[in-house]
Structures are given as structure tokens and as C-alpha cells.
Amino acid sequence: MSYVTESKEKNQKMNSKIMLDSLPGFLGKNYLIVTLVILIIAGMILSNKFFMTRNILNILLQNSMMTIISMGMLFAIITGGIDLSVGSVVALSGCLVAGFIQGGVSTLPAVSLVLLLMALVGMTSGILVSYGRIAPFIVTLAMMTIVRGLAYIYQIGADRRIDGTALTETINSNIGIIPVPIIIMAIVVILAGFILGKTTFGRSVYAIGGNSETARLAGINVNLNVILVYIISSVLAAISGIILAGRLSMGTALVGQGFELDAIAAVVVGGASLSGGTGTAVNTLMGAFIIGILANIMNLMGVAAYPQMIIKGVIIVAAVLIKRGLGKNE
């Protein structure tokens, strides 16, 4: 009896304490949501077109591919690695899927084959990183130029057009009012969140990034998990590449330049540390959309492309500084 009242009193004390000094703590934990809300409100004030359904769907569609790539990048970054090859994988997978369809392969086998081939690319990177003990930056930098080269070779000069094929039709169709790429993005984000948060594999990925020696001594197969991570990253980039090929109605080796850096930016703005061990799918999603919505607002306001690049750079640095500043209050 007395224990119960005592704990009640304690609770009340704690509650009032939370009310008093938890604002910095609240901001520290939810600064991404707060930033997003501020951006959305700012967008509504600055442009009356911003909050229209069409614009919102537009934002989602435009950022769907980058978000999917960012999810793969997130896996790599949580292990303390990085995957610079994703932009090139986008290009090669687009070229390959278009080429296969041109060659008469039907949509589903073509897509499956491309995903499988890109999984091999990821596996190669993963093996070089884990068993080869080469820095992920170097491995994937090499893979980036190799894959880009393969894309140009496969494309043989001309773009591979796939106008009016089943793939193009599917990618450009809607389910209800929602375009298919947004649905794919949603599925990828939910799956990534589930894998990272709720599976032993996800836990191992965090453990490897947190302290790979501790993970190894606890019986986790570090090498195998690292290989899986790079396969995931490559396959997700390939999904993006296939979506892009569908939207463009062609496969071309020219796309995907610099996608890897945009994906890293999304993950970092989402609060993950490049030294590994931290980051979540939801935060990366918000990171991607903070960058995406900002770009949309600037487009609506007629800001030119080059000043936009400068602002994007400033945002990336600001995000890290804000996180560090708020982190101190925790």
C-alpha cells in the first residue's frame, strides 16, 4: 500500500520534471519530425500550390527512387561501411532490364534476372570488404567505375528504348491515385525498418557497426552479414534503376550520376553516424524527404538549380551540427 502511494508520488514528481526540462530532450529525440513539420508549414506559407494533392504525390514520386537507394545505403552505413556503387548500379540495371525486354524477355523474368545480377555485384563488393579486408570506400569506388563502364558497354551508344512495354506501363500506372513507385518505396521502407528493428540479422548489422570485434566474439558471422548488407544495397539500387528505366521508357548509362552522394546525404541528415552502429529506416526516410521537400519548395519558388545545390550542402552540414547540439542535452 505505502509502496504504491510512494511510487505514485514519484511518478508525479517525475512527470512535472519531464514537463519542466524535457523540451531540449524532446527536440533531441524528434528533431527530424520537427524539421519536417517546420518545412511543410513553411512550404504552405511560401506557396499555395505546395499542399495540393498533386504536388504532394509529386514530391513522393520524385523522391521514391532516392529513398529506396538510401535504405540500402543505410544498411551499409550502419555496419560502418559505405556503398559508392549504387549510382552506377542504377544505370546498369536500367540498361540491362531495357535490353532484356528489347531482346524479347518478358517483364518478370527480365526484372528477376537483373536483380539477381546486381545481387552478384553486391556480393562481390561484400566479399572484398569482408574476406578481402579492403576499405568499403575503396571497394565500392572501384565497383562504381567498373559497373558504370559495363553499363556504357552494354548500352552500345544508343539509349535502349522500351516505350509502350509492360514494364513502362506498370511503373507509370497508379493504384488508386497513388503511383506504383511510391507503393514500392513504402514496401521497401517498411521491410527495411522491420529487418533492422525486428530480426536477428538486423541486430547483427547494428552490432557489427557498433563494435565488430565484440560481435565476432559473440558468435556473429561478421563476414557473412557484411556480404548480405552489400547485396541488399545493390538490389535496392537495382530496383531504383528499374523504376527509373520504366519512368524514362528507356535504359541509359547516363543516369544515376551522383546518386550515391544524395543517398549518403539522406542517411546522414537522418541522423546516422558514418562511423556505424546507428541509424533507422524511418529516420532515413525523413532525411530523404527533408532534402526532397526543401528542393520542392525551392522549385515552386523558382529558385534556380545552382543556388539549390548550395542550400542542399548547407542543410547537410546543419543537420549534423543540430544533431550534435541537441545530443548534448540528452
- Hey, is 328 helix, strand or coil? coil
Q: How large is the C-alpha radius of gyration of the chain?
A: 22
Q: Which is nearer to another protein, 144 or 215 (CB)?
A: 215
Decide if 137 contacts 82 (C-beta within 8 A).
yes
Decide if 230 contacts 121 (C-beta within 8 A).
no
Instruction: Give the Cα separation of 194 and 284 in Å (integer).
Output: 14
CB of 209 to another protein, least distance (A): 9
Q: Name which of residues 197 to 216 contact another protein (CB under 8 A).
A: 198-201, 203-204, 206-207, 210-211, 213-216
CB of 218 to another protein, least distance (A): 4
Q: Which is nearer to another protein, 30 or 214 (CB)?
A: 214
Q: Which is nearer to another protein, 71 or 215 (CB)?
A: 215
Instruction: Give the Cα separation of 244 and 14 in Å (integer).
Output: 52
28 binds another protein (CB under 8 A): no
Stretch that binds another protein, among 106-114, 194-202, 290-298, 311-319 (CB under 8 A): 194-202
CB of 77 to another protein, least distance (A): 15
Per-residue x/- marks for another protein, 216-255, CB under 8 A? xxxxxx----------------------------------
Q: Which is nearer to another protein, 211 or 308 (CB)?
A: 211
Give the total of residues touching another protein (CB under 8 A): 21
92 contact partners, CB below 8 Å, separation of at least 6: 118, 121, 147, 148, 150, 151, 154, 241, 253
Q: Name which of residues 271 to 290 contact another protein (CB under 8 A).
A: 277-278
CB of 267 to another protein, least distance (A): 17
Q: Which is nearer to another protein, 99 or 276 (CB)?
A: 276
The grid cell for 38 is 517546420
CB of 79 to another protein, least distance (A): 13
Stretch that binds another protein, among 31-39, 98-106, 121-129, 196-204 (CB under 8 A): 196-204
Q: Which of 233, 282, 222, 269 is nearest to 76 (CA)?
A: 233
155 contact partners, CB below 8 Å, separation of at least 6: 95, 99, 251, 252, 253
Q: What residue type is 320 in one-letter code?
A: V
Instruction: Give the Cα separation of 325 and 213 in Å (integer).
Output: 30
Q: Which is nearer to another protein, 200 or 257 (CB)?
A: 200
Decide if 259 contacts 86 (C-beta within 8 A).
yes
Per-residue x/- marks for another protein, 91-120, CB under 8 A? ------------------------------
Instruction: Give the Cα separation of 314 and 310 in Å (integer).
Output: 6
Q: Which is nearer to another protein, 163 or 330 (CB)?
A: 330
CB of 213 to another protein, least distance (A): 4
Q: Which is nearer to another protein, 30 or 200 (CB)?
A: 200
Q: What residue type is 82 in one-letter code?
A: I
Decide if 191 contacts 72 (C-beta within 8 A).
no
Binding residues for another protein (CB under 8 A): 198-201, 203-204, 206-207, 210-211, 213-221, 277-278
